[in-house]
Amino acid sequence: MEYLIETIDAVTLKHVAMWVIGGILIFLAIKKKMEPALLLPMGFGAILVNIPFSNVLTQPGSDSAGIIEWLFDVGIHASEAMPILLFIGIGAMIDFGPLLTNPKLFLLGGAAQFGIFITILFAALIGFPLNDAASIGIIGAADGPTAIMVALQLGTKYTAAIMVVAYSYMALVPIIQPMVIKMITTKKERMIHMNYSNQTVTKTTRILFPIVVTLVAGLIAPASLALVGFLMFGNLIRECGVLDSLSDTAQNALSNLITLLLGITISFQMTAEKFIQWETLMIMLLGLFAFVFDTVGGVMFAKFLNIFSKNKINPMVGAAGISAFPMASRVVQKLGLEADPSNHLLMHAVGTNVSGQIASAIVGGLIIGLVTGI
């Protein structure tokens, strides 16, 4: 009874606020089906770590490590193993065929990282230290594993907020992107048809592609190799043709297990003391700013290319250059059909979307290299 009174007495309004936040994440996962594999364990974990004296965290004087704290120390803090291993599964899911048949989509994937750099500059100008500003800016890529990697490598104290905001905006892609796209495009632009080449990409090309990308990324941004390398390794497993069972395991069992563990492990950073700060609200706003301007960057660059191109690009395809795969592609396809029921943009959007996956990982590595080198 004494212990119960002590526990209840230790509960603060901040703890209650975190229970509410955890409940909201669970609600969004179950009711709204927003990234349920990630938001549900994150929400439940947020409740677990904010119960006073919870043994999921290592308690003072205890001989045993708290399980969530141990998972964080081993799986994320020590080596970023969880987000990196997740990239094997993502790579195994991706078909780079639409990108290889139209290589200029690489440019759109790169342009859609524009918001990251604008946000870093803006965050630094309003007073965030450079390592924090860079970690916040990467939210714009809509790539959770890259955001985790950059935040941990740069040692930001806002890791928890960045993780939660990054994954939340990934889930909100179908809500935010259509509004932004419609604001900066005309209906006539949204109705632009693009011819899709049905030419077959040879097996040799598909096998060489992940190897070449890994080499190029390693030369441009060595700090990106963990992410890009494991993404390409997963794709090589898919394309080599002799590891079908492993490819299936990576796409399903491995991805699902790592996502589940990643969600509940991230919650270690969601203690009330770390999360309930005014900076968390600023990070949410800056993250939204980065995400919106990444979308704007991709769309506007597509418009710029159209000035010099005979075969016009539907500007909406540029918006698929963010890393949220395949949500961004589906948004573009839906908006294309909305403008013209015969306008199918999915394959072009997928090509841009997968180029954004590569670009965001390389940009993450570049940012790590530049900031740590200053």
Residues lower than pLDDT 50 in the chain: none
Domain that holds residue 106: 65-245+277-373
User: Token pair of 58, please?
Assistant: 């290592």
* Residue 76: CB atoms within 10 Å: 25
Cα 370 to the chain's mean position, in Å? 21
CA atoms within 13 A on the CB side of 26: 15
Cα–Cα separations (whole angstroms), residue 85 to 96, 169, 219, 233, 346: 20, 22, 22, 10, 28
CA gap 192, 197 in Å, rounded: 16
In-domain check, residue 258: no
pLDDT at 115: 92
What's the one-letter identity of residue 300? Answer: M
pLDDT at 2: 67
CA gap 141, 155 in Å, rounded: 19
* Residue 204: CB atoms within 10 Å: 8
In-domain check, residue 332: yes
pLDDT at 197: 74
In-domain check, residue 125: yes
In-domain check, residue 172: yes
Mean pLDDT of the chain: 90
CA gap 318, 194 in Å, rounded: 13
Torsion over CA: 113, 264, 269, 173 (sign): positive
In-domain check, residue 259: no
pLDDT at 334: 92
pLDDT at 200: 84
The total of structural domains in the chain comes to: 1
> pLDDT digit string (tens) for 90-129?
999 999 988 898 888 889 999 999 999 999 999 999 999 9
In-domain check, residue 235: yes
In-domain check, residue 290: yes
> pLDDT digit string (tens) for 261-289?
998 998 898 899 888 888 889 999 999 99
In-domain check, residue 330: yes
